[in-house]
Copies of this chain bind each other. A is one copy, B any other.
Amino acid sequence: MNHQLKKLFEPESIAIIGASKDPRKIGHSILKNVLSGGYKGKVYPVNPSGGEILGLETFRSVGDIEGPVDVVSLAIPAKFCLDAVRDCAEKGVGYLQVITSGFSEIGNHKEEREMVRIAHSAGMRILGPNIFGMYSAGPSMNLTFSASTISPGGVAILTQSGALGVAMIGRTAVDNMGLSAVVSTGNKADIDEADLLGYLEDDDQTRVVLMYIEGIKNGEKLLPVLKRTARKKPVIVIKSGRSERGAMAAASHTGSLAGLDAIFDSVMKQCGALRAESLEEAFNWCRFLSFAPEPSGKRTVIVTNGGGVGVLATDACEKQGIELFDDQEVLRKAFEEATPSFGSTRNPIDITGAAKVEDYKAALNAPVHCEQIDSTLTLYCETAIFDSENLIPMVRNTFEAHREAGKPVSYAIIGGTSVEDAIRELNRQNMPVFRDVDPAVSCMGAMYRYSTFKNRVITEEPEPDVDIDAIDKIIDGALAEERTFLLADEGQAVMHAAGITVPKSIIAKNLEMAVEAAEEIGYPVVMKVVSKDIVHKSDAGGLALDLENRDEVVDAYEAIMNNCRAYDPGAHIKGVEVAEMVRPGLELVVGAVRDPAFGPVVMCGLGGIYVEVMKDVAFRSYPLNTEEARRMLQEVKSYPLLLGVRGEQKKDIKGVLSTILKVGSILSRCPRITDIEINPVMVYEKTAGLKALDVRILLKNSTEEK
């Protein structure tokens, strides 16, 4: 591996600018951690006062150091930072970790930008500012000011929050979670998650990546590397700001629908990242996924000594989408010897409160040897019969047996102080043991979601066939009129260019043309006055529905003209639109929006009046293939309506998928479009296809551009 950040993670020499004798100073803590952490390379403390710190000779400036410096940790007041950056640039330092805060996070963008400019001009990269540093297990480098010691292991942590990052390092000591790396990303002035993931992706020591994210700056850069990394190892994400809204342009109806968080959530899923709800959950997943073998299938059994917890685990499995193996015959054969007559060999397997250590061993031996069982959830409620002293050997023994068979196993153990001591000891030995049913099941659920993603075959598809030139011309026309939205007929023309059906419609300039139009379209038709001056067509009497024959068209035409002239004698009337009367169907909404973080994002869901209140919509980042669009559509709660309920025919799902991809393609290839929303898309049975009824397209306001 020769990644661009290789020397940041594996430096041969580091300097600490701001190294101090004063134990209360950050520069002291960092140097102390580097030394006590057993860093294998050269260490240069830098302090203008000179002298010796922690037994090392200091340098008055980074320029005084002989030989190359791969990484500098900068822990001096903000006002001195720019000079120090210049010194480092001159020295030819590779990477600069700016610990110091007081830059963009308090509104000081200028100096931060200048810092990056200086660095880049010298080919130097910057981590931070406003960070607690980083740890890398390879060279045993603890270049942080954390008070806790860090053990090497398989989990890499990337954290945008410094305070939480330090606290998380502390927690890894409690949970005995070994780390391959910890990086504080801070203000992400230069190096961001995408860069760091790019290194971790190929780092063999890193088995799981945990990211704590507060906001994404450049999602379009992050997504490809996140997708790649997630196919190699689990990436667990905690994102704060679920309740934060409003970054989406206020004008965008699509945005107001769901806020950024629903998009973030969908995009993470699309990339195969596992989003945890809490720190606790994220840590549990890290521990579990670091050591669990990859399951060869989805069939899970629950083994328990208490019926109650068995049911609780069944509930949790359903919530997590875990498949409980249900072949009674196989289960009976596998478990009958280990299960007393008053127990149950139905899943959950209840070996009853009378179960002793041998019974657990026998019962847990069954899934190990049964080819049709792929993973095991083990539950234990403390009993007097099963001496708690036996817990540790029982878990170790059955865990090892599962591991050798390549089958994941998870344990939930509930009881008193001796059980608690056993859990602590088992965690110390990296066994997947939990204090409650839910975390044990949640880990198994995360594992199955991950393995489903990993085993997915992803096929690339060509861009849908859309006439982008034609659309660009329509946009040119609108912008020439200084409009930031397309008119209804322009929207229809865009649909036409994409091959998305709209209701047949003809503009008629006189009665004769109106009748001809109606005959061509076929009855029944609707008629609408065409006039920029008449906005509320219905109020003006400019609308006629359900016209069934020539006579009705004639009557309606005259009525519309009379009504509208009476309503606004000065109005310029271009004519009357004669359109197909669309029959009712299933109303969906399909749209695309340019997300500030992730770029083009497509959306679909239940349409019509239900859009805003039900919020039954799903999102994906574009591009995506048909299969991903199908998964997106299946996330919509009202999806079964497309399959047909109450004896209705199946609807044109293929048409919906194609519409989603086309709308995404338009937004992605026409950078001047910010929003497309078709609501409703009237979807019919397969043979009848679908129709885009109301098309709303917004354009970038050129004055808004930065």
Contacts and interface: CB of A to CB of B under 8 A. Distances in A.
Contacts of A312: 238, 240, 278-279
17 contacts: A145-B384, A147-B383, A148-B416, A161-B309, A167-B306, A167-B382, A167-B415, A171-B415, A174-B416, A214-B308, A241-B315, A242-B318, A279-B414, A280-B438, A610-B638, A613-B640, A613-B641
| 3 closest Cβ pairs, A-B complex | A170-B416, A161-B308, A163-B306
Contacts of A306: 161-164, 167
A169 interface: yes
Contacts of A277: 438
Contact of A415 (B101, B170, B243, B438): B170
A102 B212 CA distance: 52
Interface string A273-312: 0000111100000000000000000000000011111011
B240 A311 contact: yes
A243 B313 CA distance: 10
Contacts of A638: 610, 613-614
B645 A417 contact: no
Interface in A298-351: 305-309, 311-312, 314-315, 318-319, 342
B174 A420 contact: yes
A169 B416 contact: yes
B163 A314 contact: no
B147 A384 contact: yes
A546 to B, nearest CB: 9
Contacts of A650: none
Give the most central of A169, A240, A436, A641: most B CB within 10 Å: A240
B163 A305 contact: yes
A695 interface: no
A698 interface: no
A280 to B, nearest CB: 4
Contacts of A244: 311
A417 B160 contact: no
Interface of A: 29, 101-102, 106, 145-148, 159-164, 166-171, 173-174, 212, 214, 238, 240-244, 277-280, 305-309, 311-312, 314-315, 318-319, 342, 353, 381-384, 414-417, 419-420, 435-438, 606, 609-610, 612-614, 616, 637-641, 645-646
B243 A417 contact: no
Contact of A414 (B29, B168, B342, B353): B168
Contacts of A417: 148, 170, 173-174
Contact of A613 (B309, B435, B645): B645
Give the most central of A278, A312, A637: most B CB within 10 Å: A312
A214 B244 CA distance: 38
B307 A163 contact: yes
B437 A279 contact: yes
A501 to B, nearest CB: 23
A315 B243 CA distance: 5
A315 B240 contact: yes
Contacts of A243: 314-315, 318-319
A167 B307 CA distance: 13
